[in-house]
Structures are given as structure tokens and as C-alpha cells.
Amino acid sequence: METRVEKNVDLNRFEIHVGNQIAGLAAYESAAANRAFTHTEVYPQFEGQGLAKILIKFALDATREEGLGVLPFCPFVNKYISKNPEYLDLVPEWARERLGLPTS
């Protein structure tokens, strides 16, 4: 099955699709020069396929390309950044300690 990720500006979220079905989403809110990720979900019938990682990687890369920072309030996004330090620079320094991320 074909997998693709799209940004749905109208609903403030990134969506991952498998075939023609939406399989999950990463919701966000605009916060000045940052994108605050608030919720990530993969629907039960699509769990266990690594789709959340694909979704979050796409969302973080797109956010970087747009020149925005990231506030990972969503526990999954926060954990993803913890395990993939190449994205730590997206999180403003003032927010890292508050969100339990490395400060350097």
C-alpha cells in the first residue's frame, strides 16, 4: 500500500494516508514563531506499522523548511525528538528544560 503524508492547513494537522484512507494525524497550533504539536494519533487498524514515526519526521522536516520552531507538547513528538537529536535545535532553548529535553 502507498503511504503519503500531507499538511492539512484547514484542520491544523499533518495527516498520514495509507492508500486512500487516513491512518493518523499530528495536530498542531500556531504559537508565534513556533508550531506547538499537541496530539498525535494513529488509528487502531494501522497501529504497529511505524506510521507515527513517518508522520512525525515529515511534520518536523516541514516545520524546519517553514522556518518555525517546535513546541513538542505531544508526548510522542517529545519522545521522537529525544531519540532523534537532529531535531532538538527546532525546540527553543527556553522550552527544552520545561519539556524535559536536553538543554544542549
Under the banding of pLDDT at 50, 70 and 90, the label for residue 103 is: confident
- All domains of the chain in start order, with CATH: 3-96 (3.40.630.30)
Separation CA 73–CA 99 (nearest Å): 7
Give 20's contacts (C-beta < 8 A, 6+ positions apart): none
Mean pLDDT (whole number) for 63-91? 97
Kindly tell me the sign of the dihedral angle through the C-alpha atoms of 45, 51, 74, 82.
positive
Which residues are 43's β-sheet partners? none
Q: Is the pLDDT of residue 104 over 90?
A: no
pLDDT in tens, 34-75: 999 999 999 999 999 999 999 999 999 999 999 999 999 999
